[in-house]
Each structure stands twice: as structure tokens, then as C-alpha cells.
Amino acid sequence: MLKIDGENLTAHSTIESIWRCIKEAKEVLSQVIHRTPLIRSATFSSMTGGDVFLKLENLQKTGSFKIRGAYYKLWKLIKERNLKCCVAASSGNHAQGVAYAASLLGIKSIIVMPEYTPVAKINATMGYGAKVVLYGSTYDEAYRKALEICKEEDAVFIHPFDDPDIIAGQGTIGIEIYEDLRNVDVVLVPVGGGGLISGIAIALKKINPDVKIIGVQAKGAPAMTLSFKKGYMVKYDNPYTIADAIIVKRPGELTFSIVKELVDDMILVDDFDISRAIFLLLERCKLVAEPAGALGLAAILSGKVDIKGKKAVAVISGGNIDMALLAKIIEKILFKERREVRIRGTLPDRPGMLKKVLEVLAEVKANIVTIEHDRFNPNLEPGMAEVTITIEVPSVGGLDEILAKLKRIGYEFKLV
């Protein structure tokens, strides 16, 4: 049995109640948020054999879908009472969504963020008008501090996902997807605590029960997936993934009950799948996604979901990625796909030897990134030097051509 505003409700009546709120939220949010585009990707459609569409919540205000639920929740609270202050605990998108929504509605917001939170996220949250309190090393510590502040300030705590109004705000995405693509077959949704997928599932299943809703999590943070497969709430200690926005130890009670009722499947992708999806979104679609935002597309591109002959929507839920992480992802995928490689070989330690190697690389138009020259390695024979060269490979099959040409002039190089 579930509770909403103190009332005991069945799962069915809960879903009906939230569905009514989703329709109200759509009207409330219409003058506040961006109506984000749903675009078809010819590239991803060709790669998968399906018809792939992207719902671009990375282009939403504050850079993620979170403004939807935050604004609707606060709007309802202000309508019901004389609300002057709200409090949230978050190190990312929820913090910015609450801060921005509160500033639009003219109330004070206090966001408790863990002390390790990147400066860029702190500055963004403050920029949206919030007072930021740094406390603790984990979300749980920040959450407990936020509850203390609520009592001190006589404020209301805004939960990031396990709240019917938050779920309703996120559910407006489902209505928009259907309005833009009425014959959609399957929708893939990133999942952390479950607020986003709960709202989208309610909206789409109420409109068209045949639409398949699939949740996607990172292998390193699989709490909802494990709970879904087992049929009861599972806690997953020590979650870790580059998709930090969806790291939770356990799903919400309300969201789990909705997922169990309406979601068709939950699947897991690894951090390499996520990184490749981010890379391809950037390269082929010119779109920036954060790791959590790319989960649905990662599931499609990795083949974890078969969408051949189907119209599939991947919700790109956010674009607030740390620039240093983005640089690492780009570098890693370039190496993984052998578009940038590191080769190593030994040469006589004499003038002109390295020049011959570089002439081969210039001939095939390989761009040199770095060169490391080591003559002091104790494993080398006297008079020899070890050379490690990082290069950008000019074409598919270019690496084999480079290694073959070096071998023909007497140098045995291997891929590191």
C-alpha cells in the first residue's frame, strides 16, 4: 500500500492520480520550459536497422529534464501554502532544477551539496539563485543535513525522484513524445531513482498501452534493475559509474511500485557503451550528452535492445557533463576504435634512425601526437633505443599499412 499526501492508495489509484497531475503539469510548464525537439537520426537508424529518434532534454533549461518536476512541485506547494523556502540535496541536475524553479517562483532555495562536488556545478547552482551549503563526503550525509536545515528554516524538502508531483512533471516528456511520434514502438529511458521513467511510463501507457517502456541503468549502479528482476526492493552498496547522475543505492518506494507495474524491461550497459554513445552523439549529431543522458542510446547502439524495424525513442535526459571527463571519453574512444594509436619499436641509437620512421608516417599522412624516446631501459641491448609514438591514423586499415611499411625498412613496431 502506497501513500500520497498521507492517503493510503493502491498502485492503480496512485497511477491514476499521477496521470491527472501529468496533464495539469503539461499546462503549468508550457510557458516555463523548452518544448524540446524529437529528432530522427539517420546515422543511428542505419547502424541499428531501426528508426531511431532522440528526445533532446539535454537542450532543456538548466541542461536536463529536472526543471520539469522541480517547477511543478514548487508551483503546487505555493498554491497550497505560504511557502517561502525550499531545500534539496544534490550534486548535480536536481540541484540546478530546484534552484532555477525556485528563482522563477520567487522563493528562497537552499541546496546541500557534498564537499567533493565539482566547482562548475556549485557555480551553476548558485548562478540559478540558490544558497549552496557544502556538507559531507556523500549524498546520504548531504541529505541528512538538508533535513536538518528544513527544520531550522521551516522549509520544504524537495525529493529528487520519490514524489508524485516530481514524477508528474517528468511525465510531461511522455506526452510530448507521443504528440511528436504517435506510432512510437519503444521508448528507452535512463534510470537512477526512477522518477523519470515512472512519469514517462504513466503518460505513455495511459495514452497507448502497446508502447514498450525500457529502463536503462549502468552496470555499476543497478539498484532498480536488480529490484525489477527480483520483484522486491534491492539495495546495492558501493555503486560506481561515470554516469554519476543516476547513482543511487536503492530505488524509491513509489517509483519502484510504478516501474514494477508499467515498465516492460530493465537492462544494463557498461561504461564503455555509455562512452561510445556520448562520442557518437557528439561526432555524428553535434550534441553533448552527460553519461546518464546517453544510457538509452548506449543500449540501442550496443545491441542490448533489438529495435530492428521499430520506431525507437532514446531520451537524452541531460547534457551537464564535466569537460575534463568529456576529454577523457573522447581520447579513450579514439584509442578503442584505433583512430588514435600508440606504437612501439626499437631502433639503433644513431642519428637519422628516427627520421626514417617519421618519413614513413608522413608518407601515409599519419599525424604525430607524441613521441617518447628511451635509451636507458635496462632491458634494451646497448646501442639501441625504444621509441613509442602516438599517432592519429588517417584511414580505416591505416594502422596495418603503417606497420607493414615500417617492417619493410627493417623496423618492427607493435601496437601498444
CB 53 within 8 A of CB 314: yes
Helix (H, G, I), strand (E, B) or coil at 158: coil
Query: Distance between CA atoms of 23 and 203, rounded to whole angstroms?
Result: 9
Query: Distance between CA atoms of 248 and 344, rounded to whole angstroms?
Result: 43
CB 190 within 8 A of CB 295: yes
Angle in degrees, 0-180, between the axes of helices 253-262 and 195-207, rounded to the nearest 10: 40
Nearest alpha carbon to residue 263 among 217, 300, 213, 304: 213
Q: To which H or E segment does residue 298 belong?
A: helix 295-301
Query: Distance between CA atoms of 109 and 90, rounded to whole angstroms?
Result: 12
Q: Is 66 a catalytic residue?
A: yes
Q: Which runs of E-coded beta strand occur in 262-408? A: 265-269, 311-316, 340-348, 367-374, 384-392
Q: Is 336 a catalytic residue?
A: no
Catalytic residue among 26, 55, 66, 206: 66
Active-site residue set: 66, 317
